Structure 1
Amino acid sequence: MNLYNDHEDVGAGGDSQSGWLIKRGRLTHRWRRRWFDLRNDVLLYGKAPEERSLKKKIVLEGALITQSNIDGKQFAFRIKSRENGRLHYICAENEVLQQEWMQAIYLARGVQGEHSQACVIQ
């Protein structure tokens, strides 16, 4: 089963980016397709692109982002939230999308001001 759309719907314009990725569940560790929407220093996600579906969020201020090969996923990355220490594992369809998302999350720190340090890529 392909967890991505045939067309990855990612748009990087200004301080936002959105599209389908897969995310590893915290309790079940199952990988599920989720719509992600990066807004300023918050990454919202849910089951569908509609605003009401974006019920969960990852606060990126002070977060660490690293590449990961968890569960053998080739294009995965990890976000460690400073807010609560939680680890979020996310996987893109290919290396280009992985790098785009990691870079967009890293650059999200700039929306808070020049001296903000919202996210660090390791």
Structure 2
Amino acid sequence: MTTSGFVDPENHLYTNLAFRFSDQYDIPTKMAVYQGLNRSVFRSKKEFQGSIVKHIERVMEYYEVCNEVRVIIDGKPTRTEIPSYDMSSAREAILNCYCHRDFSRKLNIKIEFFDDRCEIISPSVFF
């Protein structure tokens, strides 16, 4: 536990890192799907609680549900499915939110889908 950074070697207390990986972590990640191009009408919204690991798992699952897929049927035996956003790129952006966020500020990571875009917002350090 000490080597991993979960316990402070001097006072033997759990660290902030351990708190973030526990189910007691209290800053939710918020996801929303809006109708149109602004934030005036929700289609759906979710909040994810618990450890950062659970946040990432649940966010990726819900992102995949919200990622609209176009289907092209062109007479071939199989259809072509084209998601709005590449899942490997989305995963990278979402992981970056957690890796590079400013944990000193109690702000939410937000992922928002609009008719024309997806915004991934992470609280970070401002200079």
Normalised TM-score (structure 2) = 0.29
Instruction: Give the structure with the larger strand fraction.
Output: 1
Normalised TM-score (structure 1) = 0.30
Instruction: Give the structure with the larger helix fraction.
Output: 2
